[in-house]
Structure 1
Amino acid sequence: MQISTVIAVAGVAGSGKSTLGRAIATQLSSPLIDLDHVSNPLLDALPVEALGGEHWISSPFAPQIREGRYAALRAVVADAVSTTQSAVVVAPFTAELTGGHEWDLLREAVAPARLIVVNMVGDPQLLAARRHQRGAERDSHRTDVGASLPAIDVVCVDAELATEQQVSRVLAAAGVRLPIDEAAPLFTADFDAVLFDLDGTLVDSTASVIRSWRRFAEHYGVSMQALHANHGQPARTLVGKLLPRELHDEALAYVTRLEVTDAAGLAPVQGALSFFESVPATQRAIVTSGSVPIAHARLAAAGFAHPDVFVTVDDVTRGKPDPEPFLLAAQRLGVAPERCLVVEDANAGITAARAAGCHVLAIAGTVDAEELDAEVVVDGLDRVEIVRSGDALRLRPSGASGRT
């Protein structure tokens, strides 16, 4: 990274902040500074009697221990910034997130570097299960692992996501972007319409989808691995593959309720709202593997207008990866499929779009960029824009394309 940058990864115990911090540091070749590694070996070596007869987490001297731990952390971070101009720092940062005195001390320690704070969030039940699974002795001494809403600007990352998905979101927020091939033929093609997938393309619902299907899997005792392997396919297809026929209707209704309920608070994918709104209403459609209730809930939560042409799983007999959904959308718009640009984030949708004869722009983040077989792959729709080309539409890069 050319700009001196410190990425601080915060979160409660079990949120996965250490795993994410290590992955970011590896990706950026930056020093990794973990509060536990800086201070815990020393504290664990002290006799309990020296700590008031309690574990250091619950010791009567806990406030002083906390102050000393973070003072040591800041000193190490300051050294890293002065010598390497970057660092990835991992700690709960509970007090720092309130924006008070501790926040000022952290900012002073990293100065003059830019400070980006990543806050790990997640289902409390999931985080409790992770703490139980890892069996760390220190967790048994914690009396409060909850966290209040940050008072400072943070990049929220859901613990439900895979580490690779988390890293892609953090890097994009930090300005470390995928390069764009500005000479790609896709940037010289003319289109009559743009067909958008919904989940992971317009609405950042990936964590919500994973959380809902995790709860579904727990309820019905099915494999999460099988669910991940079939991402992008309709719910009825997944239910049909995973459960006996007599449970299909009940299970489909159950997962629909989960997904509609979990839609509250969903945000647009980076750059998606302005990109979507830049396409004339008569030349755009949404083509989703979700049902009408789920699609409506997610669009409303993320602030998208309901499109005139809206193809859901309820409109087709064969969902993605079959081309039928995109063919139907093109037909309803009155355009030829080969004159359509499809925007997708999943391989099932890309396969469907290609089979329909459409051009494809892929959004990385749900799936790693190298795994997406599209003409152009970007890590956010802020990287491209739609412009007029006579009576047609054309895609073009919206800014500098190199990785910083």
Structure 2
Amino acid sequence: MTRSCQIPRPTVVAVTGVAGSGKTTLGRTLAQALALPLVDLDSVTTPLLDALGDTIFGTHWLTSAHAPAIRAGRYAALRAVAADAVSSAGGAVLVAPFTAELAGGDDWRRLHDAVAAADLRVVHLSGDPQLFAARRAARGEARDAHRDDIAPAAPAVEVITIDAELSTSQQIARLLPELGLRRHLDPDAALFSRTFDAVLFDLDGTLVDSTASVVRSWRRFAEHYGVSAEALHENHGQPARVLISKLLPADLFDEGLSRVTDLEVDDAVDLAPVRGARAFFDAVPVARRAIVTSGTHRLASARLGAAGFTPPDVFVTADDVTRGKPDPEPFLTAAAALGVDPARCLVVEDAAAGIAAARAAGCSVLALTGTVEAHELPGDVVLDGLDVVELEATGDGLRLRVR
């Protein structure tokens, strides 16, 4: 096992979001990960309502004149089942839009009171309305035709916001640490006995949690050019120019590169640092740190600024090298600029292509989950956040240790 088997205390996680946000998929996966029962509003109430049909309501129950009373009854049933789950299983994962509950007030208090024996955490799936509409169209559920398309207001209660653009595994990788479940870390790993002269950081998914922004931008690119989403995933971590050369004919290369760059820069707004990244980055002496990214200088600067980072003195981008990751050139370039031996460098990465580049350069690797699965990251140590480690300056150099 790589994680604790149980959450620290009885917990109810309410997974919320509009239709098409992926809350059912996330809820099921989260319930399995937490070993808690799943209570889905649709499973609890929809079969009964659909069975009653137009003979009772005269129209679809979502648009019936009795819709407010139906809504109240549905959530009363959900709360009752949730209360039973807490008393018998110690918690639950609830799945529902919870639109009124997120506004606070009486509906929120009723939900909170129903599961008062447990901690209540709310996960809110947000994202591109066009993505949600496309998902609803693809699944073809009859009741989607009766839903209100008005965008809900921002939550008024405390929530954990997760971007629906992320894959389910990426969402889980962000949620479990928030809920107190951390990946096992071996303090006796060989990496903790070494010292380093410098730390070389990847940017996307390592310092800045830009994964959803990257996925959203490339999804829009793929939709425009009719490109396979699988091909994008398989080439994660490589420079855009390399990826585009694989996906588009030569006569569309310049246009495609310009388009995806504009998409990514425009989407680089209000990005968050990766868990623990700001403190860890700031702890590295200025003369001993560098950022090595597959993005262009324009894009990398936009993302750093959006997350509140100042670019370091040594900032190696796709504009500075001939061959990008997985070639070792980017990391060798950074080590040379810092005046250090690559074998005395610690690389912090989140992608297989970056890890391959670091290995080829002779560097040690601290890998972060959140973009790909842990088994895809052949790092010396694999973490679910930089907040669990820290750097100590010694006479021999920088030493990594468990916080």
Indicate the TM-score class for this superposition, using the shorter chain for normalisation. Answer: over 0.9
For 1:166, the equivalent position in structure 2 comes to 171
How far apart, in 2, do the equivalents of 1:205 and 1:36 lie?
A: 32
CA deviations on 1:244-289 (whole Å, 9 max, x unpaired) are: 1111111101100000000112111111111111111111100000
What corresponds to 2:134 in structure 1?
129
Counterpart CA distance in 2 for 1:363 and 1:159 is 20
Q: Is the 1:217–1:223 contact (alpha carbons within 8 Å) kept by the matching residues of 2?
A: yes
Equivalent in the alignment of 2:18 = 12
Contact preservation (8 Å) 1:13, 1:145: no
Aligned residue identity for 1:31: P
AA paired with 2:253? H
Correspondence 1:143 to 2:148: yes
Preserved CA contact (<8 Å) 1:201 1:269: yes
CA distance in 2, matches of 1:158, 1:147: 16
8 Å contact from structure 1 (residues 345, 364) kept in 2:
yes
Does residue 1:102 correspond to 2:107, yes or no? Answer: yes
**How many Å apart are 1:49 and its aligned residue?**
4.1
Matched to 2:62, the amino acid is I
1:247 aligns with 2:252: yes
Q: How far did residue 390 of structure 1 move?
A: 2.0
Distance in 1 of aligned mates of 2:96 and 2:183: 28
Measured against aligned partners, the alpha-carbon deviations of 1:371-392 in whole angstroms (never above 9, x if no partner) come to 2101100001111111112251
Q: Indicate yes or no: 2:60 matched with 1:58.
A: no
Quick check: 1:290 aligned with 2:280? no
Task: Name 2:36's counterpart in structure 1.
Answer: 30
Partner of 1:212: 217
Partner of 1:337: 342
Whole-angstrom CA distance in 2 between matches of 1:143 and 1:169: 30
In the other structure, the counterpart of 1:311 is 316
Distance 2:258 2:229 in 1: 19
Deviation at 1:80, TM superposition (A): 0.5
The unaligned stretches of length 5 or more in structure 2 are 1-5
Q: CA deviation at 1:159?
A: 1.3
Task: Give the length in aligned residue pairs.
Answer: 397
Residue aligned with 2:99, SS: coil
Q: CA deviation at 1:112?
A: 2.1
Q: In structure 2, what is the Cα distance between the partners aligned to 1:255 and 1:362?
A: 27
Kindly tell me: are residues 62 and 347 of structure 1, through their superposed partners in 2, closer, same or farther at Cα, counting changes over 3 Å?
Answer: same
* Segment drifting more, 382-391 vs 119-128: 382-391
Which residue number corresponds to residue 258 of structure 1?
Answer: 263
Percent identity over paired residues: 64
Q: State how far apart, in whole Å, the 1-side matches of 2:104 and 2:326 are.
A: 47
Structure 1, gaps ≥5 residues long? 399-404
> Is residue 187 of structure 1 aligned with residue 208 of structure 2?
no
Task: Please say which of residues 140-149 and 366-375 is displaced more in the overlay.
Answer: 140-149
State the Cα RMSD in Å: 1.0
How far apart, CA to CA, are the structure 1 residues paired with 2:181 and 2:251? 49
Residues 326, 356 of structure 2: 8 Å contact kept: yes
